Amino acid sequence: MKPFAEGCQKKMHRTIHITPPTGRSMILPGLGALVLASWLPTPASAHQSAEPPAAAKPDLKAYTEEIPKAAFKISMVPIPADPAKGIDPFWIATTELTWDAFDVYVYRLDEEGGGEAVARGTQGATRPTKPYLPPDRGLGHSGFATISISYHNAKTFCDWLSEKTGKHYRLPTEDEWEHAALAGAKGDFSFGDAENYDQFAWMIDNADSRPRPVGRKGANAWGLFDMHGNVAEWVIGRDGQRIIKGGSYQDPIDDLKVTARKPYHPDWNAGDPNIPKSKWWLTDGPFIGFRIVCDPKPRPAAEIPTSTQPVPTPTPEPTKPEPK
């Protein structure tokens, strides 16, 4: 028996390292380690169901938003978060908003028989005054970016679309816009060096002094077109001011840099003969449009028009008994 026992001992003499919950390393020879492992306490976390971390972000998927009463859809793609800049995930339109979508809102094509809307939510949204002159300035309509509109007009379109769809549409913030424009790239442009502009951007050197149909140049890494050039886009500035970003067909390459910005200037509406001047249209802004964002977070109650919310039923007053 002795030779057999010694042979078994040699075959089983493998050293096993185990670190128990106490954090102190133990060395056990042979099968003794298997015996010890059977009574080591299991960490409490192993008995608990896995829960997502509190900071977990939604997994957004691309989708298309159908414009009411129009054979047109807006393509929306997800943009990842950037925790370092405090940016949560959101959706953004792949192109600047075109007249195909904006006409429905401006000319009330979603309304039945004209007059006040009877469709979902629209009775709370104001609309721009109908323009006396074509706001596209004859520079292109179907498939072209909406131009000559004010910040107020762009924001109100977002409110209208929010009421129509039940989603939370709005303008992008300056940080969101820059994050989406670069699409993970570093530097001033999503396309690398300025010399590459002709593949990705319409600007003063190649646009022939007019806006071009959206989506004709190359997209950035996240599938967004015309973030640099074509028409400048309204965004919510870091200082809360209304600014435009991205540059336009009228601008040199430096104005197309992702950090370039222009605050609102009265000259953009200098030619409006009305007093007061229109809050909807920019007579001298045929280079200004916008792009919409969809926020996964619900629309703040303060932004929802009261006329679209349920009206509480008044409590009837108790009837007084008639005198005998």
Tokens coding 14: 């493998």
Q: Tokens standing for 118?
A: 């009877």
Cα–Cα distance measured from residue 36 to residue 138, given in angstroms and rounded to the nearest whole number: 84
Name which of 90, 71, 81 is nearest 184 in CA terms.
Answer: 81
For domain 63-112+120-299, which CATH number applies: 2.170.16.10, 3.90.1580.10, 3.30.590.20, 3.30.930.10? Answer: 3.90.1580.10
Confidence of residue 129 (pLDDT cuts 50, 70, 90): confident
- What does the pLDDT look like over 191-229, one tens digit per residue? 999 999 999 999 999 999 999 999 999 999 999 999 999
pLDDT class of 111 with cuts at 50, 70, 90: confident
Q: How many CB atoms lie within 10 A of CB 27?
A: 9
Lowest mean pLDDT among 13-17, 89-93, 136-140: 13-17
- Digit-coded pLDDT (tens) for 270-317: 999 888 899 999 999 999 999 999 999 998 887 776 444 443 443 444
Neighbours of 101 (CB within 10 A): 22
pTM: 0.74
